[in-house]
């Protein structure tokens, strides 16, 4: 019997946030005697100390993994079946955390990655969450109903990856995309309808170094979900119980544009100058402040209340050695999400008549160098 506690809720200076508190719970782990770091699905039926309510107040599910009674609950344990489309840096980490928390996790990926996951599981190295291997299921497409689906591919792979997620199989299960940028929400709503799509963002530094091998470098995994607290509270609790702090924010623009107003300056500058966040904020501070102000003005024009001084504070609070995912893509020679991040900022700026000269120059320079 192992006792695990989720992260302690915090009020983070500069963020002004209170994260959903974690429930402390006990669960029986089925531990492989040959490796006591390998986490398998729980063999016991010890319920969490507080009952888990339905995951989302969505229409009653059909005869699915969501269990009996159409309530969304999966029986006494409250364990869910979660699909993760794209088990890379973000998806692999969350899939592993959810599996470690006792949920049944089904990763959807290409054949090679799916085979590696079936054989070796997800191997996580994390100073924050610990080093562990999580057993997950893996397939190349969704073939059964699930309680929840995370979408964690890059923008550049989104349309192809969504072919693995047939709308008829997904049904009304909540679909939580954690991609950076804003444009993917429209693409998901076109395919699956507006109901299941839960706008969300994640703040983390996590890299897939090989199929199923995840290096988590940030001392946090923070998720924001946009919508009503009464609808999304159980979903936030599910993440928080698994070790990823989650918070519900009422408005979509507040979630999506607050993230982009922070990310776009950080991603553009770290990638343009091949520099860590720490180096950018000391060596390129004037440029950082200029892009932050431009991005905050665009975010405000899009309906989010973003204060550039608060965003600068968040930048200053970020671990100095962390990099943006765009910089890690550039270093690895992968295609950049430049259009989804910088492009989205420039398009919104043009539509709303907000001048963004510094951001436009950085995007042009990155395009020219790519």
Ligand X SMILES: CC(C)(CO)C(=O)C(=O)O
Site residues, ligand NDP (CB under 6 A): 85-91, 108-110, 113, 152-155, 157, 160-161, 164, 178-180, 202, 204-206, 208, 211, 325, 337
180 binds ligand X (CB under 6 A): yes
* Sole residue written with tokens 């998806």: 91
Residue from 64, 133, 271, 324 that binds ligand X (CB under 6 A)? 324
Binders in 205-244 for ligand X, by CB under 6 A:
205
Measured between alpha carbons, how far is residue 293 from residues 240, 262, 309, 323, 358 in Å?
32, 10, 8, 21, 10
266 is a site residue for ligand X (CB under 6 A): yes
Q: How far is the CB of 43 from ligand NDP (least distance, A)?
A: 28
266 binds, among ligand X, ligand NDP, none (CB under 5 to 8 A by kind): ligand X
Residues 86 and 259: their CA atoms lie apart, in Å, by 21
Q: Segment contacting ligand X (CB under 6 A): 61-69, 117-125, 202-210, 353-361?
A: 202-210
CA–CA separation, 218 and 300 (whole Å):
28
From the number of C-beta atoms within 10 Å of its C-beta (0-12, 13-18, 19+), residue 262 rates as buried
- 160 binding partner (options ligand X, ligand NDP, none; Cβ < 5 to 8 Å by kind): ligand NDP
Torsion sign across C-alpha atoms 103, 109, 111, 115: negative
Q: Which of 304, 325, 345, 348 binds ligand X (CB under 6 A)?
A: 325
In angstroms, what is the minimal distance from the CB of 29 to ligand NDP? 26
* Residues forming beta bridges with residue 295, ordered by sequence position: none
Among 115, 125, 203, 231, binds ligand X (CB under 6 A): 203
Q: Which does 145 bind (CB under 5 to 8 A by kind): ligand NDP, ligand X, none?
A: none
Is 248 a binder of ligand X (CB under 6 A)? no
CA angle 352, 354, 358 (to 5 degrees): 140
In the complex with ligand NDP, which residue's Cβ is closer, 25 or 215?
215
Identity of the residue, 45 or 334, whose beta carbon is nearer to ligand NDP in the bound complex: 334
- In this complex, which beta carbon is closest to ligand NDP, that of residue 109 or of residue 306? 109
Is 249 a residue that touches ligand X (CB under 6 A)?
Answer: no
Instruction: Report the residue number, 78 or 121, with the smaller CB distance to ligand NDP.
Output: 121
Of all residues in the shown chain, the one whose CB is closest to ligand NDP is 88
Calpha distance 242→245 (Å, rounded): 8
Q: Which two tokens stand for residue 307?
A: 């204060």
Residue 164 interface partner, choices ligand NDP, ligand X, none, CB cut-off 5-8 Å depending on type: ligand NDP
Torsion sign over Cα 52, 42, 103, 324:
positive
Question: Least separation, in Å, of the C-beta of 321 and ligand NDP?
Answer: 13
> In terms of C-beta density within 10 A (0-12 exposed, 13-18 middle, 19 or more buried), how is residue 201 classed?
buried
Q: Give percent helix, percent strand, percent coil of the chain, each to the nearest 5.
A: 40, 20, 40
Residue 361 makes contact with ligand X by CB under 6 A: no
DSSP state of 148: E
How far does the chain reach from its first CA to its final CA, in angstroms? 52
Q: How far is the CB of 258 from ligand X (least distance, A)?
A: 11
* Shortest reach from residue 266's CB to ligand X, in Å: 5
One-character DSSP codes across 213-240: EEEE-SS--EEEEES-HHHHHHHHHHHH
Query: Binders of ligand X: how many residues, by CB under 6 A?
Result: 8
Give the interface with ligand X as residue ranges (CB under 6 A): 180, 203-205, 263, 266, 324-325
């Amino acid at each position: 019997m192992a006792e695990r506690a989720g992260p302690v809720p915090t009020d983070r200076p500069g963020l002004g946030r209170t994260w959903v508190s974690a429930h402390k719970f006990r669960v029986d782990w089925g531990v492989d005697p040959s490796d006591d770091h390998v986490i398998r699905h729980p063999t016991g039926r010890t319920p969490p100390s507080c009952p888990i309510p339905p995951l989302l107040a969505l229409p009653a599910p059909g005869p699915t993994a969501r269990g009996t009674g159409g309530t969304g609950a999966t029986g006494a344990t409250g364990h869910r079946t979660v699909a993760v489309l794209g088990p890379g840096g973000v998806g692999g980490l969350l899939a592993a955390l959810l599996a470690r928390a006792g949920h049944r996790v089904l990763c959807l990926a290409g054949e090679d990655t799916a085979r590696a996951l079936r054989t070796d599981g997800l191997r996580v190295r994390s100073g924050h969450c610990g080093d562990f291997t999580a057993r997950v299921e893996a397939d190349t497409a969704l073939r059964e109903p699930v309680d929840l689906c995370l979408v964690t591919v890059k923008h550049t792979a989104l349309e192809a990856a969504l072919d693995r997620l047939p709308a008829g199989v997904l049904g009304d299960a909540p679909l939580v995309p954690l991609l950076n940028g804003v444009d993917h929400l429209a693409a998901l709503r076109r395919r699956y309808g507006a109901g299941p799509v839960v706008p969300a963002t994640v703040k983390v530094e996590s890299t897939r170094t090989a199929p199923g091998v995840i290096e988590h470098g940030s001392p946090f995994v923070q998720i924001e979900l946009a919508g009503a607290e009464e609808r999304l509270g159980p979903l936030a609790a599910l993440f928080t119980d698994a070790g990823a702090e989650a918070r519900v924010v009422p408005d979509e623009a507040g979630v999506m544009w607050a993230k982009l107003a922070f990310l776009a300056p950080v991603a553009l500058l770290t990638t343009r100058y091949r520099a860590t966040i720490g180096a950018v904020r000391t060596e390129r501070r004037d440029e950082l402040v200029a892009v932050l102000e431009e991005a905050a003005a665009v975010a405000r024009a899009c309906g989010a209340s973003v204060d550039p001084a608060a965003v600068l504070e968040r930048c200053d609070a970020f671990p100095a050695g962390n990099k943006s995912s765009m910089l890690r893509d550039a270093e690895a020679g992968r295609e950049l999400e430049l259009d989804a991040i910088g492009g989205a900022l420039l398009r919104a700026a043009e539509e709303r008549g907000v001048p963004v000269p510094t951001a436009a120059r950085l995007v042009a320079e990155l395009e020219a160098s790519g």
